[in-house]
Structure 1
């Protein structure tokens, strides 16, 4: 995601006087989306407590707010059961070290930002040790692994929710919760400017553009980028004028380029470092990995084709724990298949290409989708940093 643009819009001048005694907060964010959310939360906390001291595990967006990272968020950015197993000992060691340090030097509050498999056990231990705990972003207990709601109740004194339907579910289980809106809905414009975005990316104002987003984690890139690039090659055969933009996190840009040359030889793909928001705003259709980026695409009112592929063992475990027929956030939030999803063996280039082309051939369907996504945007729009900071202030009684 285009974190610099989000971060710039989230920053405001502190309201409290410099004599404010401050607040000590420990935080853990484990991937780029969590780092972004944590950075925005820090904006709100710093407005309430200008003398804020924040430590723990974080990424660049947290660092730029003065966060003291004891470990980098990159150490936790692992997805899938098989992938986690390969890094299990290192991750558990980091958590144990962090837990000991926070229990010996307890902060005023601990905030776990997403990453529930790492954060919930840590929160549970800290809460038992007398530390006030907050979990930011409710785990998807409404979609899969429903048993985690009991763990959440034992771990968090407060859950900050980004979707309104989560509040009654948590309250039924005795969990204190506050809806704070989704920060992306505040940052992304209600009326995207496709022409301006294309000019920023030096793309033709007219002509078909597809944004290709194979994910931000290494495992996602390795599993999805080959499929997505073969899909792009098929699309270029069907529509030679089609242009492709491929946002990539800096750590994986070189690898994404290698995969593009291997699986779409001769095809010109604009591989960008960051700029995912520009790519989504500029495109006609997004070919996209399931995850937070699908919500970003929905907020930019763009039709999309969602796909996901992972290690087969991870998929078999995940599939058995799914509670809903959808995995893409736009479909979950709308309660129907408003955009197509292709998972695991279904994620074949020919099927993906056909689904992308269908969007170009159905303008009335695109218009209806844009209207539904506009309604969704209004539902999710709140001043998330301020709402979240105020909820924590109430929890602490300060």
Structure 2
């Protein structure tokens, strides 16, 4: 096979992974112009010529209890996917995040002689340290998005490369708030609160009602606030019903996708814990991080947590630079109060902007090229 005709299998199980994999594919196309990429991915990957075998949403399930509910279908997809990848024999299999799905699959494929790479080091530094054994069995190489991770992996006998965080390259160092508002049809005169309850259906159902109740309370205190809620096309009807049930019909700008424009446009965001919190930090926006999930899932996660922080901005800054209101603490009253506090504290916002700018500079690397460099080394090994 000609070197430019590389064939890679990839699995990105959710929206954040789709974004990461999309940037990786940019690097692949530059290095190997005729590259073919197959597996499971989302719209960012498909836009770059990726051939997806199942809808990405099938894997976008979070939490122990929720996964149990969908386990038979997910397990069936993994079995079929494994058989298909073994038949196709790609040059490399790349699991993008989604470790609960990908690590076991990678281990099986690696044992069958297929080179494997895992993109995004599982957060063994935050919780579930025992997962390092799974990583060692699964991956020939790990692509790391935080600078301290390769050394940590090396101490456990796992090869890794720091490739920067793809989002740091995509998001401008100085986002244009006025331009983003113009694109979204928002006023430049009134503050904008972005509501980001998550990209999974389970998150929308558990978190959005609290966010919307908080938004209603905020509007009572500050009736001029502009409320914006971006969501995936597949969830927009459900989100619209929730807005109506919260008594906010006509008061929330419901946006299909375009979460980056929403973050650029806002003054503050009420946001679910996850990759989106890092996106908000790179947009230099103050935030209140919240999360709510099935109670049993929450109790299980508490036993595995290694750090006092849940949100990525706080973990990376090693400090509670933004509030975290998790589970029972995430009451509509507390969420509203903490969100409005940012709008009334310009000095605090200025300090936070400086912290987030320094973080952005640390994470900014040529990720597409560095990913391609690492994959090339794996191919040569």
TM-score, L = length of structure 1:
0.93
Match status 1:67 vs 2:45: no
- Structure 1 stretches lacking a partner, 5+ long: 1-18
Cα distance change, pair 305–21 in 1 and its aligned pair in 2 (3 A): closer
Say whether the 8 Å CA contact 2:243–2:249 is kept in structure 1.
no
1:368 counterpart SS class: helix
Q: Deviations over 1:201-225 (max 9, x none)?
A: 1111122110011111000000111
Give the equivalent residue in structure 1 for 2:252: 269
**Consecutive aligned runs of 4 or more in structure 1 exceeding 3 Å deviation:** 264-267
Q: Deviations over 1:133-175 (max 9, x none)?
A: 0000011111111111111011100000011111111110011
Match status 1:243 vs 2:226: yes
For residues 146 and 125 of structure 2, the distance between their equivalents in structure 1, rounded to whole angstroms, comes to 11
For residues 66 and 256 of structure 1, the distance between their equivalents in structure 2, rounded to whole angstroms, comes to 30
Pairing of 1:59-208 with structure 2 (within 5 A): 59-208=42-191
For residues 247 and 377 of structure 2, the distance between their equivalents in structure 1, rounded to whole angstroms, comes to 54
1:321 counterpart SS class: coil
- Structure 2 stretches lacking a partner, 5+ long: none
Q: Deviations over 1:328-348 (max 9, x none)?
A: 000000001000001111110
Say whether the 8 Å CA contact 1:163–1:181 is kept in structure 2.
yes
TM-score, L = length of structure 2:
0.98
Q: Deviations over 1:221-267 (max 9, x none)?
A: 00111100000011011111111111111111111111011113456
1:192 counterpart SS class: coil
2:5 counterpart SS class: coil
Give the equivalent residue in structure 2 for 1:278: 261
Residue 52 (structure 1) shift: 1.1
2:58 counterpart SS class: helix
Residue 62 (structure 1) shift: 1.5
Say whether the 8 Å CA contact 1:232–1:264 is kept in structure 2.
no
1:24 to 7, 16, 23: 7
Say whether the 8 Å CA contact 1:233–1:267 is kept in structure 2.
no
Q: How many residues align?
A: 381
Match status 1:52 vs 2:35: yes
Between 265-274 and 237-246, the greater mean CA deviation after superposition: 265-274
Say whether the 8 Å CA contact 2:4–2:31 is kept in structure 1.
no
